[in-house]
Homo-oligomer: A and B are copies of this chain.
C-alpha cells in the first residue's frame, strides 16, 4: 500500500520531468498574471501593497487550477487510468498519490516564486512570511479539492472550464482566509485566526477529498 503510493508519486514526477515544458509554464503563468495587474491597475506603491496579497493568491489559484484539468485527463485518454484503477490497490491511494504529486509539481514551486512577486508588490517581509505560510497551507487544499473536480469532469468536453466552475466556489473560503491572513498582518490585527482556519480546512479536505474523488473516478469511468 505504501509501495503503491510511492509508485504513483514516482510515476507522476517522472512524467512531469519528461515534460518540463508544462511544468515551467504553470509557473510562468503565475508570474504573468501577477504582473498583468500592475499593468491594468497602475503603478502606485501603496495601492499595489493593498491589493498585492489578494492578487498573488488569486494568481496562485488560477495557475495551479489550470494544471488540474490534466490531473486525470491524460491518463484517461491513453487508457492508463483504467489500468491503474484496475490495479489491486485501493483507488483512494491512487487519488491521494496523484494529489500529492500535483502539489509537489505545481504547488511547491509557487511557494518559491511568491516572495519575489511579493517584493514587486511592495509587501513587507513580515507580510511575505505570512503569505508563504498561507500558501503552504492553502495550495494543498486546491490540489485535493481539485482531484474531486477533475474526477467528476473526466472525459467531458470542456471539462477544464467546468472543473473551474465546480471547484472555485468550494475553494473560495481558502482564498478568503489566505488573503485575509496577509491583510491581517499588514493591518496589525494578526494572522493566527485566519491561518488556523486555513489549517483546519486543509486537514478536512485531506480527510474527505480523496474518498469522494475516488468514488467520482469510478463513476466517471463507468
Contacts and interface: CB of A to CB of B under 8 A. Distances in A.
B37 A58 contact: yes
A40 interface: yes
A123 B61 CA distance: 26
Contact of A161 (B22, B39, B41, B55): B22
Contact of A62 (B25, B62, B156, B183): B62
A146 to B, nearest CB: 15
A57 B36 CA distance: 10
Interface residues of A, number: 44
Contact of A40 (B57, B157, B161): B57
A36 B58 contact: yes
Contact of A165 (B32, B36, B41, B53): B32
B40 A58 contact: yes
Given A157-B19, A160-B160, A39 B165 contact: no
B32 A164 contact: yes
- Name which of A33, A164, A183 has the most chain B CB atoms within 10 A of its CB: A164
A176 B39 contact: yes
Nearest to A183: B42
**Which 5 residue pairs across A and B have the least CB separation, nearest first?**
A40-B54, A22-B158, A41-B54, A25-B161, A40-B179
Interface of A: 19, 21-22, 25-26, 28-29, 32-33, 36-37, 39-42, 47, 50-51, 53-55, 57-58, 61-62, 66-67, 69-70, 74, 156-158, 160-162, 164-165, 168, 172, 175-176, 179, 183
Given A36-B61, A40-B51, A66-B66, 18 more contacts: A21-B156, A22-B157, A22-B158, A22-B162, A25-B161, A25-B162, A28-B161, A29-B161, A37-B51, A37-B58, A40-B58, A40-B175, A41-B50, A41-B55, A66-B161, A69-B160, A70-B157, A70-B158
